[in-house]
């Protein structure tokens, strides 16, 4: 299994998006996405995080 650091340190050339998914609420998707965002910004990348779908919204 890859760690967050493995993903961030891998070659990001040519990637235009990254999706964080999970099986349920409260499993840490937001924490993982925020950590990835912080680490990628530290590498000098332009990051535009979005949360396009929220559970329970009408």
Helix or strand or coil: residue 19? Answer: coil
Active site residue 2: no
Q: Which of 15, 48, 50, 51 is catalytic?
A: 51
Quick one: tokens of 51?
Answer: 């949360």
| Region for residue 39 given its phi and psi (left: phi exceeds 0; alpha: psi -120 to 50; beta: otherwise) | alpha
- Pair of tokens at residue 45: 């990348």
Catalytic residues, which ones? 51
């Amino acid at each position: 299994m890859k760690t967050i650091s493995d993903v961030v340190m891998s070659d990001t050339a040519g990637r235009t998006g990254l999706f964080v998914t999970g099986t349920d609420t409260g499993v840490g998707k937001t924490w993982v996405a925020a950590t990835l965002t912080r680490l990628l910004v530290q590498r000098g990348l332009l990051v535009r995080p979005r949360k396009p779908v929220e559970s329970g919204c009408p």
